[in-house]
Amino acid sequence: MTVKYEIHGDDLQFVRFLLNQGESLVAEAGALLFMDSTLEMETIFGDGSNANQGAGLMGKLMGAGKRAIMGESLFMTLFTQSSYAEGEIAFAAPYPGKIIPLSLADYQGTILCQKDAFLCAEKGTSLEIAFNRKIGVGLFGGEGFIMQKLQGSGMTFLHAGGAIYKRELNASETLKVDTGCLVALTGSVHYDIEMVSSMKTALFGGEGLFFATLTGPGIVWLQSLPFSRLADRIMTSSRRAGHSGKGEGSMLDALGGLGNLLDGK
């Protein structure tokens, strides 16, 4: 049974749930906005999936280890409604953007997403590691060698920066994407990296050296403002504001631009 939910807000969103007795949600540590006193909260190792919960201590440690490799917290929080009445609970997005609700059952039970996109999900959703097999994708793909694989049949909720664009690709249809703007994709989409063909464009176009190439069939979700890009702009503005000498600022800005080019930003 799918949980009842409603997404509130525009650019600073939160998702509110109404849980019946026995229904549970698992969420990233620190994502809670509020909850009724009838809900029980428990800190757990790993992802809280049924497989890990039934595998004893070793299974839980393996689940926690996978999250550590992905750069996430070792712990997640499990929320369960204990009363006969409906219980209300809400989780907030960590930065400006949109919350994306997905029913895994609609996508053959599997979605691949960037490491920090997961917000919360119905209990039973498994968070596994998805390694990028190609060295080019790992080094220059914007998400490193590791992405998250969400598996299950229930609802899961992702978060990404800015506006969200969902694109369905036909068989053999290819979309070129800025490497940091990819949020999620279905398992049938082929993901690779392509270098910008023109050196002049690479050096002076401001789009970096590499594109992510996504080839269908399948569905991809893109974000208009990756958090890394937002943080980079804030740091650049702060650095410029702190410079007293025009010459010094110009030199540091030039060096910073060179670093961004090599980074693929």
pTM value is 0.77
SS3 state at 157: strand
Q: What is the pLDDT along the chain (265 residues), one digit of tens a residue?
A: 578 999 999 888 999 999 999 999 999 888 999 999 999 999 887 666 655 544 555 555 665 556 565 556 667 899 999 999 999 999 998 888 999 999 999 999 999 998 789 999 999 898 887 765 554 444 554 444 568 889 999 999 999 999 999 999 999 999 998 878 999 999 999 988 777 665 544 444 445 567 788 999 999 999 998 876 666 667 777 777 765 444 444 444 444 444 444 444 4
Angle at 41 between CA 39 and CA 43, to 5 degrees: 165
Output helix, strand, coil percentages for the chain, rounded to the nearest 5: 25, 40, 30
